């Protein structure tokens, strides 16, 4: 049986447009930038959160991107630690304003089973009590195992469970920003 090469389903320009569209949707649903806090889930959710925060600031100058973006590590909240202990915890950095009473937007690259988001919600509840929590993902590929839905989606990408979706970002993968992309391939490895 031959393995098909990965095919690119979104380019750097597509990713940039999706992030800008999500930023507009967030501002519209929140009626502005008041009380917004953007938290990225490591690994690729954090650079996407930073891009999203920059886009929010370019649309609404009252949004202080550097003061309202952070990273939420979920490693110790995962339900697969016994099976996969190779995950290295990343730092959690919560903006100085905190999350109590805020509208927190969790950001991740791919929404698949929903288990990562469940872990993020558990981690978030140990830090504070936001007024509301929203979810923004670059790709929603379906196949949920938990009743979790994204509020803001860059690209709906129906897949089979045998396929693998890989988001490549220059901040993590070390290539040129113009080489950012989303690939889909036959699934021989775990989801990123």
Residue 139 has pLDDT above 90, yes or no: yes
- pLDDT tens digit sequence for 51-104: 999 999 999 999 999 999 999 999 999 887 666 656 778 899 999 999 999 999
For residues 190 and 188, what is the distance between their CA atoms, to the nearest angstrom? 7
- pLDDT tens digit sequence for 2-43: 567 899 999 999 999 999 999 999 999 999 999 999 999 999
Q: Angle CA(98)–CA(22)–CA(6) in degrees, nearest 5?
A: 115
Residue 190 has pLDDT above 90, yes or no: no
Token pair 């089979």 is found at 160
More confident residue, 70 or 192: 70
Contact 6, 184 (CB under 8 A): yes
Sign of CA dihedral 129, 64, 108, 47: negative
Contact 71, 46 (CB under 8 A): yes
Cis check: omega of the bond before 43, within 30 degrees of 0: yes
Q: Answer whether 0.75 is exceeded by the pTM.
A: yes
Residue 192 has pLDDT above 70, yes or no: no
Q: Is 130 in a helix, a strand, or coil? A: coil
The mean predicted confidence, pLDDT, of the chain is 93
Ordered domains of the chain (ranges, CATH): 11-79+91-160 (3.40.50.2020)
């Amino acid at each position: 049986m031959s393995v098909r090469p990965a095919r690119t389903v979104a380019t750097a320009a597509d990713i940039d447009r999706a992030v800008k569209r999500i930023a507009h949707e967030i501002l519209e649903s929140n009626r502005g930038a008041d009380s917004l806090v953007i938290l990225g889930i490591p690994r690729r959710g954090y650079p996407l959160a930073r891009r999203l925060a920059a886009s929010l600031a370019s649309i609404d100058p009252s949004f202080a991107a550097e003061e309202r973006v952070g990273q939420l590590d979920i490693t110790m909240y995962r339900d697969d630690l016994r099976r996969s202990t190779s995950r290295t915890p990343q730092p959690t950095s919560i903006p100085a304003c905190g999350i109590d009473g805020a509208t927190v937007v969790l950001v991740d690259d791919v929404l698949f089973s929903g288990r990562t988001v469940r872990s993020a919600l558990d981690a978030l509840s140990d830090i504070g009590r936001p007024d509301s929590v929203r979810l923004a993902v670059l790709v929603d590929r379906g196949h949920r195992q938990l009743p979790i839905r994204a509020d803001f989606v860059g690209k709906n990408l129906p897949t089979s469970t045998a396929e693998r979706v890989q988001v490549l970002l220059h901040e993590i993968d070390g290539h040129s920003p113009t080489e950012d992309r989303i690939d889909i391939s036959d699934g021989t490895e775990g989801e990123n």
